[in-house]
Amino acid sequence: MAATPKDSLVDREATTEEEIFQEACARHKLAEENESDNRTRGLEAIAFRNGQQWPDDIYNQRANVEKRPTLVINKTNTWCVRLKNQLRQQRPRIKCHPVGGGSRVEDAEVITGLIRHIETISNASVAYDMGVESAIDIGWGYWRIVADYVSPDSFDQELLIKPIQNTFTCYDDPMSIMPAGEDRKWFLITEEMSRAEYKRRYPNAENVEWDPAGPGDQASYRWESKYKIRLAEYYRIHEVADELVLMTDGRGWYKSRMPSEETMLAAGFRPVVQYRLNDESKPEWVTRPTMRRQVQWFRINGRKVVDKRDLPGKYIPVIRCEGNKTVLNGQVYRKGMVEDLMDPARMFNYWRSSETERYALAPKAPWVMAEGQDEGHPEWDDANTRSYSRLVYKPVTDAAGNALPPPQRQPATPIEAGFAQAAQSAALDLMEVAGMQPESPELQAKIIGGNKYLQRRQGMMDLTHYQYYDNQTYSIMWTGIILLDLIPHYYDTHRMQRIIGEDGVPRMVEINPPPDPDVEDPTASAIYRIKTNLEVGRYDVVMDTGPGYQTKREESTEALIGLLSTPLGQKISDLASDLVIRGMDFYGADDVADRLAPSTPEGMQKAIEGLPKQAKAIVGALQMQVQQLQQLTQQQALEIKYGITKEQLRQESESKRVAARIESENNRAELKDRTERHKVEVDSVTKRDVAEIHAAAQLLNSYTESREEEEAADKLIQKGIEDR
């Protein structure tokens, strides 16, 4: 790496305007020495992509001296355009999310919408595409963030993202190692300006151009010094000694930028207090020494500083987009896609030129004829280059008087097959180095048809150049971080601000409103102001990568339509019918969706938010009237319902009472009948039992008597026997 010039002021920060001018010149020279090789190769790469693909000495020898073909089959530009268009289809987007310190999700959505608004009014896609295209060509590119007034008659400012068309007009801090250049300490940009504009802006400055220029810088500015002048913008980070004060909410505030006591009291935080040892009468804030970053900007001509100012924020608002970066022996080498394609592209051009030359110089298929057969027929002289309906020849005889045969066409001299094979091999080498395969119509048809496997395969083919997409994503993310740092400084007044949602629909929001005059408590007013001020809270930036919103909308619409045929279809139709219609791509889809949206509470609320303040008040009053009517209707409905219910209950009670009486009478009659029947049955059973008992008694008596008579007879018989 080139050493810092000994006579420069780089090692010690300049203070006076003369020293600042010398510091800018010394740093310009330092950047030029470190980037000289990269700039030289970058210029060659840009020229090569634009068609200057033959070395100058070979081109002059072949084209001017030998008059030989020097064809350029510019496949290099085709591959670069293809890669650039792939990046355009998946341009990442900036999103903010809260990380603490009083931040809220609602505020993060407002900030994200504000960043989208900045990107829209700036046509930021131009800056992003121009920066990554330069990275594809030479290995690095830039874009920047500037501030401008909203209109000539307004004091409000807004941020803009601007492209830097010529990368070689930028001179970066060689000690910066981060991809987006966020750690740089200084930066230089040269630009041209008409002398009339220069004189209008700086009437007291000398009309002298900025002189130092490196490779690529001066070459791109072709102007007559009689009408234009070239200036330089010089950014640097000025570190200011300060103290950091610890707050009760854990944050640290610079002592030089401490908020007011009212603000701290309203926000609910204050400095942390500590006491000296053995002395509690003198409380002190908890502090530590630190260095505060201050961005300084200078406008420099060829002799002096003509303008200067301190810029808000902590970072130099210039973002670098890298391609391929290699550090070898302390030297940083940058290159894009073009440099590796040079040799195979030159080889391909050479073989195609040689093949063309061979075909061009090869003799045509000749005609063989006897002498005199073309006499009187000049058409034979251009018979190989013109199409004739007939060719007439003069008959000729030999010495013996025999007629000679007519003219005969001979076969053309064949071209060596090696030319075509060499050109084909060179084309394959070029595609291999480019990391891209030729597009197959059959494969593309299958991919378009929805073959997921082939889509993943196509994505794998793009991994060869994924570093360009990843580096662009990182640079755009850092753009969002810088915007997040600058927004509180430029959008710090009370205004109606347009923001843009994720679906691309803009709406107006109120930012930084004044304290509520109806609130007498200044503390409450301060709280209200703090809660709606973009300065409060800490946020971070994340990137939304993948396909753009249009592609995502088409995919989501297709998925929603598929769900309509499932059991969830009815719920989606009732709750999100407007989303289904809005995602469709036909004329009037948004109008239909707008008419369907108010049918759901969420859609109604969103529609009300987009109305002017007076319309919101009218809608609010109408909503209150509708709510009152709904309450009255509900009350009347309940009264009617309860009245009907009471009558029904009375009628049901009477019916039940009558039914109970009838049932009771029926039960008594049935009981009487059942009692009488039971009595009859008991009497019958009793009589039967008595008869049976009487019969049994009689039978028993008869049996007894018979037994007694039998015993008497036995006694008489025994006595007779004994008497014998």
Other beta carbons less than 10 A from residue 268's beta carbon: 11
Is residue 145 domain-resident? yes
Domain co-membership, 256 together with 324: yes
Compute the distance between CA of residue 86 and CA of residue 459 in angstroms, rounded to an integer: 11
Is residue 33 domain-resident? yes
Tens-place pLDDT, residues 177-213: 999 999 999 999 988 777 787 778 777 766 555 555 5
Q: Rounded mean pLDDT of the chain?
A: 77
Least confident of 234-243, 384-393, 433-442, 595-604: 433-442
Of residues 446 and 170, more confidence is placed in 170
Tens-place pLDDT, residues 677-701: 777 776 776 777 666 666 666 666 6
Q: Per DSSP, what are the bridge partners of residue 334? A: 325
**pLDDT category, 231, cuts 50, 70, 90?**
confident
Domain co-membership, 493 together with 534: no
pLDDT recorded at residue 221:
38
Q: What are phi and psi of 75, to 5 degrees?
A: -75, -25
pLDDT recorded at residue 182:
92
Compute the distance between CA of residue 710 and CA of residue 713 in angstroms, rounded to an integer: 5
pLDDT recorded at residue 140:
95
Q: What is the DSSP string of 315-351?
A: S-SEEEEE-EEEEETTEEEEE-SHHHHHHHHHHHHHH
**pLDDT category, 717, cuts 50, 70, 90?**
low
> What range defines the domain where residue 175 resides?
17-339+466-509
Tens-place pLDDT, residues 56-97: 888 888 888 888 888 898 988 988 998 888 888 778 888 888
Look-up: residue for tokens 């005059």? 517
Domain co-membership, 502 together with 520: no
Of residues 631 and 307, more confidence is placed in 307
Residue 365 has pLDDT above 80, yes or no: no
Percent of the chain past pLDDT 70, that is, above it, reads: 74
Of residues 392 and 528, more confidence is placed in 392
Least confident of 56-60, 403-407, 614-618: 614-618
Of residues 51 and 542, more confidence is placed in 51
Domain co-membership, 527 together with 589: yes
Mean pLDDT of 12-24: 84
pLDDT recorded at residue 416:
67
Mean pLDDT of 7-21: 71
Closest CA to 502 of 616, 593, 579: 579
Is residue 705 domain-resident? no
Q: Which helix (H) or strand (E) holds 201?
A: helix 195-201
Q: Which domain-ending residue is among 605, 634, 653?
A: 605
Q: Which domain-ending residue is among 555, 573, 605?
A: 605
For residue 445, what are its two tokens?
Answer: 């048809």
Beta strands in 195-317 (DSSP E): 228-246, 252-254, 273-276, 279-285, 287-300, 305-311
Domain co-membership, 161 together with 263: yes
Tens-place pLDDT, residues 99-142: 765 667 777 888 888 999 999 999 999 999 999 999 999 999 99
Cβ–Cβ < 8 Å for 534, 495:
no
Q: What are phi and psi of 31, to 5 degrees?
A: -65, -40
Residue 549 has pLDDT above 70, yes or no: no
Residue 1 has pLDDT above 90, yes or no: no
Cβ–Cβ < 8 Å for 198, 247:
no
For residue 262, what are its two tokens?
Answer: 């009212």
Domain co-membership, 275 together with 256: yes
Domain co-membership, 225 together with 320: yes
Is residue 669 domain-resident? no
Residue 334 has pLDDT above 60, yes or no: yes
Mean pLDDT of 477-483: 92
Domain count, the chain: 2
Tens-place pLDDT, residues 431-458: 778 777 665 555 555 544 444 444 444 5
| 3-state SS class at 303 | coil
**pLDDT category, 611, cuts 50, 70, 90?**
low
Domain co-membership, 490 together with 601: no
Domain co-membership, 517 together with 500: no
Q: Which domain-ending residue is among 509, 538, 565?
A: 509
For residue 717, what are its two tokens?
Answer: 């018989």
Is residue 63 domain-resident? yes
Q: What are phi and psi of 711, to 5 degrees?
A: -65, -40
pLDDT recorded at residue 234:
94
Q: What is the pTM of this model?
A: 0.68
Domain co-membership, 213 together with 107: yes
**pLDDT category, 591, cuts 50, 70, 90?**
confident
Mean pLDDT of 318-332: 92
Cβ–Cβ < 8 Å for 132, 80:
no
